[in-house]
Amino acid sequence: MIISDFAVKKSISVLVLSALILVMGTYSYLTLPREAEPDISIPHIFVSTAYRGVAPGDIESSITIEIENKLKGLDGVKNIKSVSSEGESLIDVEFTTGVDIDDALRKVKDKVDEAKGELPSDLEDDPYVFEVNISEMPILIFSLAGTSGERSLKEIADDLEDEIEGVPGVLDVEITGARERENRIEFFPEKLAYYGLSVPAVQAAVQGENSNTSGGALHMGDGKFQVRVPGEFTTPEELYGLVIGTHDGQPVYARDVARVLDTFKEETSRSRLNSLPAVNIVVKKRSGENIIAIADAVEDILQKRQLGWPSGTTITKVLDKSKDTKRMVADLENNILSGLALVVVVIFFAMGIRNALLVSLAIPFSMLLSFMILQIMGVTLNMIVLFSLTLALGMLVDNAIVIIENIYRFMEQGVGRVEAAMKGTSEVAMPVIGSTLTTLAVFSPMLFWPGIMGEFMGYLPLTLIVTLSSSLFVALVINPALASLFMKSSKQVKTVSSAEVEAAGEQPVAIQGTLLRSYTGLLKFCLNHPFALIAAAVFLLVFMIQGWLLVVGIEKPVEFFPDIEPKGIYINTDMPEGADLEYIDNILRQIETAVAGGGKGENSSGPSDLPYVKIIYSKAVTSTGGGSEFEPNTPNHVGVRFIDLEDRSPSRSTYDTVEDIRKRISNIAGAKVTVAMEAEGPSTGSAINIEISGDNFTVLGSIAKKIKATLEKVPHVEDIQDNYVEGTPSVQIKIDRQKAALFGLTTSAIGSVIKTSYNGLVISSFREGNEDYDITVQLPKKDRQVDNVLREFMIPTPTGVIVRFPPWQRWITPVLWAISTGSITSAR
């Protein structure tokens, strides 16, 4: 064969090439990023818009529909789905497979920008447009717990956040479960009413005083001086002495009408670890970065920082995606070394140690060449690639064995090394190429697997094609060249030409050995009866097909991925719309108590009497939003992490523990409680999803309820859930528009004051050191829990007159409790 003959003739050049492959391949392997999951593009763009305190119906009409109308004209859009819940709009724009996700993200942002003019003017933040990238999912989650108090845990978490963000490759560090510090001005409506002041007056006073003003330059003598008017607050106490307005010719101070608190923001979430208050630290990495190096660097930071923490403070690793990657990398390295040793041992008995080493070199050279190609292609060492490399490892020496053995046969018959290398390789080159191509042909169709799963699993055939092609190159180029330089025959025979060898090969060969003679007889029989052999093969094929159909006919379970024992589970809860944090936290505490049982059991290594339970953690939030099908857990959930698989007993399955947990939480009332097991690979949502669309949301809810009741009767179906929410309680204030207009007031102006009072409004900020803290104006908590305080509000009119609520009693109907739609889901 031309390529192998050329390699043999230029054997020194091939030797240099081998050295380059050795060096560059090793460098590629050491620098290839290690990742948990492949970096694939999910054709979904999400648009999230927060509008605190606003009912779902208003969210849909004022935000969701306005943005959806702009998105309808986008090219390549497959589906648009939205969830309008209390205080948040979430729109899911699904594009067709294969779309350029960066281009799609840009187009969606442009359309959202066009819709901003149609959105409410009092939105606190602009709509947030983002994509889902599996490689940028959290790789590490730590739970910081202790008895040192919320402020201490928050300070520790903030210090860790700053240091971890400095680790190369870290994309973002999020702190959850801890409240931010703020200065809150809690005004008293009755006192504002007494002095004839309004909430906007408090806002204007703070914003006007808390600022530094430049007065330009002052020239005196031969110098120039900057004129500054410093006005920023240096201490929170300065807010008490702030003049809000005047009454009867006397100044009215903030302390006269409000209470100033240096406190935390209103609690909207809670986290616990094994029943202790906790702060979660979530670490995300950049796409294409080394997950193992990042995890090791974060571990070093934590070990150094722990020494200075208060007594009783602990940090627990809740999630570590680098662990599986480390294990798979170690398995690959062990398999390479084991394969080398076994090949040398097996081939040694047939061709001697030198030839065994020549064959075994196919493994490292093929692997190193594959690493080089993968790095050039921008592929990382993720779980699919590592699995594929391990799978291909056993096939790397096949070609080398065939070629080296044939060269060795020529040399045993007396042919010189160089000629034996060329003749021996040429004789079997086409069969070797054909056998490799047939293997590649089997895996090649997987490259065209469509959808998200196709992108995810596409790395398997790609890696196998690269690896087996590399082994073919090594077998046809490197092995013959090395054989021409270093191969040695164990038999000392007279050197003959290849023509004499071919002539000798035509002579009968004496067959020795019982096994060999038996095989020879069977082979002769098959060759002498070819039609009988073909008929037997066809009959066997038909028999196997019928056997497979029989197995399927007896309802053999069929599933996409094998069901393996989970590393953990999520106990998800769907709370009633309008549930406050105390209610949500109470439900989660009941679940935690049920899972924990009586504490540590005989076979348990964690905070539960159930075997295998290692960690119990929970997260409660008041603003749930719509969630995402790519997340296995709901915003309010209890997580249970199990001990490592190798530490579990073979006599008890983890599924038994999961079933025990299901039974313990089955009687918890007050929320829809379901269990989701942690799965490997990309999250694609539930196994079966049923979508119901229509114009009447109430009717859709009724249909969903009937379908759910029917599905609950189906065997082996469990954890059925739907996203229909029957309603949320609301207080409706109806304004007499004509009478309000007499004062120059609008419904929007009145609603703005009420919203500021109940939701709070950030009116300025206070700087301390390098940190900025919000200054918020809001009603005291006790007044936010009643409705009669509404009659004490003061509303400024455009003419400067301050109007109080009591004169409006004729305009405002009595406070009405009504039920409005709690969650509106649409698909367009």
DSSP-assigned states of every residue in 169-219: TEEEEEEES-PPEEEEEEE-HHHHHHHT--HHHHHHHHHHHS--EEEEEEE
Higher pLDDT, 275 or 629: 275
What are 767's strand-pairing partners?
772
Q: In residues, how long is the chain?
A: 828
Going by C-beta distance under 8 Å and a sequence separation of 6 or more, which residues neighbour residue 448? 454
Residue type, 672: K
For the chain, the domains span 2-31+324-493, 38-136, 182-264+738-804, 513-550, 568-679
> What single letter denotes the amino acid at residue 614?
K
- 39, 137 in Cβ contact below 8 A? no
- Return the half-sphere exposure (C-beta side, CA atoms, 13 A cut-off) of residue 17: 16
Residue indicated by tokens 């191969």: 487
Given 3.50.50.60, 1.20.1640.10, 1.20.1600.10, 3.30.420.40, which CATH number is that of 2-31+324-493? Answer: 1.20.1640.10
45 is written with which tokens? 């763009």
Matching fold, domains 2-31+324-493 and 38-136:
no
User: Of 9-18, 466-475, 495-504, 709-718, which gets the smallest average pLDDT?
Assistant: 495-504
Whole-number pLDDT of residue 729: 65
| DSSP-derived 3-state class of residue 778 | strand
pLDDT of 510 above 70: no
Reference 491, options 420, 428, 426; nearest CA is: 420
What architecture is the 182-264+738-804 domain classified under in CATH?
2-Layer Sandwich (3.30)
Q: With bands split at pLDDT 50, 70 and 90, how would you rate the model's confidence at 686?
A: low
The DSSP annotation for 3-44 comes to HHHHHHHTHHHHHHHHHHHHHHHHHHHHHSPB-SS---EEEE
Q: Does the predicted model carry a pTM greater than 0.95? A: no
pLDDT tens for each residue of 246-270: 888 889 888 888 888 888 888 888 8
Band the pLDDT of 496: cuts 50, 70, 90: low
Residues 650, 655: Cα–Cα separation, whole Å: 12
H/E stretch holding 614 reads strand 613-621
Residue range 391-416, pLDDT digits in tens:
888 888 888 888 988 888 888 888 88
Cα–Cα distance for residue pair 213/227, rounded to 1 Å: 9
Indicate if the pLDDT at residue 466 is higher than 90: yes
Pair 169, 289: CB distance under 8 Å: yes
Query: Phi and psi of 311, rounded to 5°?
Result: -60, 140
Tens-digit pLDDT profile for residues 736-785:
778 778 778 888 777 777 888 888 888 888 887 777 888 888 888 888 77
Whether the per-residue pLDDT at 162 is higher than 80: the answer is yes
The answer to whether residues 638 and 595 touch, using CB atoms and an 8 Å cutoff, is: yes
- Mean pLDDT for the chain? 81
pLDDT score of 236 more than 60: yes
Residue 654 DSSP SS3 = helix
Rounded average pLDDT over 542-569: 74
Q: Under a CB-based contact definition with an 8 Å cutoff, are residues 37 and 135 in contact?
A: yes
pLDDT confidence of residue 300 = 93
Token code pair at residue 381: 């060492």
CATH homologous superfamily, domain 568-679: Multidrug efflux transporter AcrB pore domain (3.30.70.1430)
Sign of the C-alpha dihedral computed for residues 803, 807, 810 and 814 taken in this order: positive
Q: Decide: 736 and 745 in contact? Cβ < 8 Å.
A: no
Look at residue 816 and tell me whether its pLDDT is greater than 60: no
How many Cβ atoms from other residues are within 10 Å of residue 790's Cβ? Answer: 18
Residue 590 pLDDT: 92
Q: What's the pLDDT score for residue 553? A: 57
Contact by Cβ (8 Å): 314, 646:
no
* Amino acid sitting at position 538: V
According to DSSP, residue 380 is labeled: -
Look at residue 359 in the predicted model and tell me its pLDDT: 84
> Which residue(s) pair with 654 in the sheet?
none
CA angle centred on 46, ends 728 and 450, rounded to 5°: 125
The number of beta carbons lying within 10 Å of the beta carbon of residue 346 is 15
Query: What pLDDT, on the 0 to 100 scale, is given for residue 508?
Result: 52
Per the CATH hierarchy, to which homologous superfamily does domain 38-136 belong? Multidrug efflux transporter AcrB pore domain (3.30.70.1430)
Q: Is the pLDDT of residue 810 over 70?
A: no
Beta bridge partners of 243: 253
